[in-house]
Amino acid sequence: MASPCVQDVTFSECENSHAGKLCLQLNCNSDCVHILRSMVAVMTVRADMDELQGNRVAIAVDEVYANIAAHAYEGSPGRVEFETEIICHDGKNRELVFNFRDYAAVRWTGSLEGVTTEVPDVETLCPGGIGLKLICSVADYCEHEILDDGNRWQIGFVI
Amino acid sequence: MRETDMTLQFELENQEEGTALLRVTGDITIHTSPRLREQLKPLLSAQMKEVQVALDGVNFMDSSGIATLVEGLQWGRLTGGRFVLSGLRDNVRDIFSLAKLDMVFEIVDSTV
């Protein structure tokens, strides 16, 4: 059984505000996905998203997290900082943003450029790569940056 | 608000010789999908003609769950067996549709 995975939860700024930010540090294990899902549920409600939209956001967040767990930390526990907020641009346009920061020795070297959302070829469809396809299908944008001591991911949804 | 289901439950019905129906209940995530694979793998044999996975009880599925089901799709392609998904809820159907996987899997509304 994995050890408790939540290391720190911070409710910063105005937690009663729609512009509030939620932050979390996890000891990355696959059984922590439900914790992220709770935070996603809070933020998608704050963003006035319906259940279907909320489910899409949850999928994208799950997939980024799973990518870090499986490929950056390669199944071993490791530190992940997770932060989510609703950003208001010029008082009108809003974005729901999720940031992930890991400190893995393995840098993710995949590419988001070649990920297509075309109909998969049944002859060549394989289990790998479906997560990235889902992220790119549901998020308005997804960015990945290799850092000196890990990786940073950001996904965003226009509200 | 729905709570996250961290467990998966299975019910296997052998309908007639060479066919199987696997009912799945719970959320299929990176944490739970290995259990789905454990249940599904023995069914994907040369002796089987048809394997149906009933997903009426699944409200959330991520790519690890889809990847497991892709193995069923591959089995069908290699052996000529029929691999069917049934009873997809709106949330799950939406994800299949977004990834255009509804065009490669055989999906039916309810168990056949």
Cα distance between residue A47 and residue A156, in whole Å: 12
Cα distance between residue A29 and residue B77, in whole Å: 34
Q: Yes or no: say if B86 and B52 are a contact pair by the CB < 8 Å rule.
A: yes
Chain B residue with Cα closest to A41: B1
Q: Is residue B13 part of a domain?
A: yes
Going by pLDDT thresholds of 50, 70 and 90, the confidence category of residue A10 is: low
The predicted-structure confidence for A124-145, as pLDDT tens digits, reads as follows: 676 667 888 889 889 999 999 9
Q: Is residue B3 part of a domain?
A: no
More confident residue, B93 or A122: B93
Per-range mean pLDDT, top range of A27-31, B1-5, B94-98: B94-98
More confident residue, A86 or B99: A86
Range of the domain at B96: 8-108
* ipTM higher than threshold 0.85: no
Q: Quote the pLDDT of residue A4.
A: 42
Mean pLDDT (chain B, rounded)? 89
| Arithmetic mean of pLDDT, B69-98 | 93
Going by pLDDT thresholds of 50, 70 and 90, the confidence category of residue B108 is: very high
User: Structural domain tally of chain B?
Assistant: 1
Q: What is the CATH number of domain A6-158?
A: 3.30.565.10
Residues contacting residue A91 through CB under 8 Å, at least 6 positions apart: none
Handedness of CA A59, A60, A63, A65 (dihedral sign): negative
Whether A17 has a pLDDT exceeding 50, the answer reads no
Q: Yes or no: say if B111 and B21 are a contact pair by the CB < 8 Å rule.
A: yes
| pTM (two decimals) | 0.81
Percent residues over pLDDT 90 in chain B? 67
Going by pLDDT thresholds of 50, 70 and 90, the confidence category of residue A23 is: confident
The predicted-structure confidence for B5-34, as pLDDT tens digits, reads as follows: 568 999 998 767 889 999 999 999 888 999
CATH number of residue B39's parent domain: 3.30.750.24
More confident residue, A19 or B53: B53
The tokens for A78 are: 């490791």
- Is A115 part of the contact surface with chain B (CB cutoff 8 Å)? no
Q: Quote the pLDDT of residue A151.
A: 92
Give the β-pairing of A93-102 and A21-27.
Answer: unpaired
Going by pLDDT thresholds of 50, 70 and 90, the confidence category of residue A52 is: very high
Q: Yes or no: say if B50 and B19 are a contact pair by the CB < 8 Å rule.
A: yes
The predicted-structure confidence for A75-123, as pLDDT tens digits, reads as follows: 888 889 999 999 887 777 889 999 999 999 877 666 666 666 666 776 6
The tokens for A51 are: 């259940």
Cα distance between residue A81 and residue A86, in whole Å: 17
Contacts of B104 in chain A (CB under 8 A): 119-120, 122, 125
- Is A31 part of the contact surface with chain B (CB cutoff 8 Å)? yes
CA dihedral A102, A55, A141, A62 (to 10 degrees): 20
| SS3 letters across chain A | CCCCCEEEEEEECCCCCCCCEEEEEEECCHHHHHHHHHHHHHHHHHCCCCHHHHHHHHHHHHHHHHHHHHHHCCCCCCEEEEEEEEEEECCCEEEEEEEEEECCCCCCCCCCCCCCCCCCCCCCCCCCCHHHHHHHHHCCEEEEEEECCEEEEEEEEEC
Whether B104 has a pLDDT exceeding 70, the answer reads yes
Handedness of CA B97, B103, B105, B107 (dihedral sign): positive
Mean pLDDT (chain A, rounded)? 80
**Whether A33 and B29 lie within 8 Å, measured CB to CB:** yes
Q: Is residue B2 part of a domain?
A: no
Mutate: best of B3, B5, B31, B107, partner A, most A CBs <10 A: B31
Q: Is residue B15 part of a domain?
A: yes
Q: Quote the pLDDT of residue B2.
A: 45
Ordered strands of the A141-147 beta sheet: A6-12, A21-27, A79-89, A93-102, A150-158, A141-147
Residues contacting residue A158 through CB under 8 Å, at least 6 positions apart: A93, A94, A95, A140
Q: Quote the pLDDT of residue A117.
A: 63
Q: Quote the pLDDT of residue B3.
A: 46
